[in-house]
Amino acid sequence: MLLLILSTLFLTTIYSSNAASDDVITFDVRLLDGGDITYSFNRSEYGDCIYTSHHQQVTCMVKRKYKSVVDKWKYNPLQLKYLSVNCMEQTYYANNRHACICVNGSDAANPGKSKQHDNLHYCHLTTLPEGMFAKLSQLTLLDLSSNAIKEVQEDTFAGLFSLKYLDISHNPIGSIAVKFLCDLHMIEVLKLKNISMSSKTFHKRILYCSSSLNQLKFIDLSDNHIESIPNQLFDSIPNVQTLILRNNWINFISVTAFFGASNLKYLDLSKNHLPAIQNSFCKFMYQVRYINISSNRLTHLDMDDMSNCETMTVFDTSMNMIHEKKEVYHNDQTYKFSTLQETV
Ligand SMILES: *[C@@H]1O[C@H](CO)[C@@H](O)[C@H](O)[C@H]1NC(C)=O
Ligand SMILES: *[C@@H]1O[C@H](CO)[C@@H](O)[C@H](O)[C@H]1NC(C)=O
Ligand SMILES: *[C@@H]1O[C@H](CO)[C@@H](O)[C@H](O)[C@H]1NC(C)=O
Ligand SMILES: *[C@@H]1O[C@H](CO)[C@@H](O)[C@H](O)[C@H]1NC(C)=O
């Protein structure tokens, strides 16, 4: 009880500086130019629970009534606009157990007897049964970051036709099926940080769908084990503006990897294993403004290889081992971009 009172006081203090923020939940996407994209929702008591009909289990960040969550998913699924469940981030309500609070079907209270309580237990979100979100066609945002999800199947996200934001970062996902994104016609932001993605999973078909995902503009693949960027990656995601591949194992990039990336503006390749930059690096990146190859293994840099990067304004080459730098200044051309160089 004391804990509950304290928690109420605590939350009140946090939110008192902004009266409206209590009712609104906001998800921020930081862009590399300092700007951001924001998704805001009226806070809902259903926003922090997941129902899996397969196991008849309700998994919540805080204590909720089993029946009201199940009824929402069954009878009013179109009212669910956002879902954000991050069991491993749970530190307060779950008593520092890094777990969610769950009720299994058979443990749910008998609705006829008002005094009977749901039988709660601590649990983790480990599986996403196929089609579990199929009725949630109005869902705009799904944040399942920081859980223990091990697999994404082709139909895991089926039916999420309005989804704009998907975050499954910080999960030990060993396997992702191709076409897992293909129902997400409206998807704008895709966060796949730290999901144990290797080159075996990150192949040229992983983001491919028969009809293009034209709204997708932001992909974050930081903190994975990707070794190369596959050719044809951009085939059905032609409007991606920001691609973050920070802290991977990338050691080679062919020029054709960026074929079709004609709207790419921000490319973060920092903290990788790149030994060199290929000739005509920006050939297919007609609009690129920002390239970060800081903390790689470059030993030389021939600025002539960057001659296609006419639109680039920021080029960070710091924290490499560049001992030979060849700059070519053509009579009528001076490089516009500011090169952030190694400070030895
Ligand atoms: C929140 O609710 C108010 C009043 O019901 C409504 O006018 C507003 O559009 C809602 N905002 C969002 C982000 O859904
Ligand atoms: C709840 O259901 C899940 C999935 O069927 C099962 O693994 C778990 O053991 C159950 N927990 C309890 C406390 O009954
Ligand atoms: C990566 O995700 C795992 C869970 O899969 C988590 O334990 C770990 O803290 C995360 N690492 C970072 C750097 O966020
Ligand atoms: C480039 O990446 C490094 C490491 O991720 C980061 O510290 C640095 O601020 C980035 N540079 C720019 C110009 O954003």
Per residue in 316-326, pLDDT (tens digit) is: 999 999 887 77
**Ligand 1 geometric centre to CA of 48 (Å):** 18
Q: Is the pLDDT of residue 3 over 60?
A: no
pLDDT band at 114 (very low <50, low <70, confident <90, very high): low
**Which sign does the torsion angle of CA 65, 66, 67, 70 carry?**
positive
Q: Is the pLDDT of residue 262 over 90?
A: yes
Q: Is the pLDDT of residue 250 over 70?
A: yes
Question: Cα separation of 264 and 21, whole Å?
Answer: 34
**Which sign does the torsion angle of CA 258, 201, 147, 125 carry?**
positive
The answer to whether the CB of 223 is under 6 A from ligand 4 is no
pLDDT at residue number 338: 59
Tokens linked to 189:
């932001």
pLDDT at residue number 36: 93
Say what percent of the chain tops pLDDT 70.
85
pLDDT band at 219 (very low <50, low <70, confident <90, very high): very high
The answer to whether the CB of 223 is under 6 A from ligand 3 is yes
**Ligand 4 geometric centre to CA of 190 (Å):** 21
Question: Cα separation of 263 and 257, whole Å?
Answer: 14
pLDDT band at 55 (very low <50, low <70, confident <90, very high): confident
Average pLDDT, the chain: 87
pLDDT at residue number 12: 34
pLDDT at residue number 80: 98
**Ligand 4 geometric centre to CA of 291 (Å):** 10
In terms of pLDDT, which residue wins out, 277 or 335? 277
The answer to whether the CB of 246 is under 6 A from ligand 3 is no
Q: Which atom of ligand 3 is nearest to the CA of 172?
A: 5
2: three-class secondary structure by DSSP? helix
pLDDT at residue number 8: 36
Give the residue-averaged pLDDT of 178-205: 94
Question: Cα separation of 102 and 108, whole Å?
Answer: 10
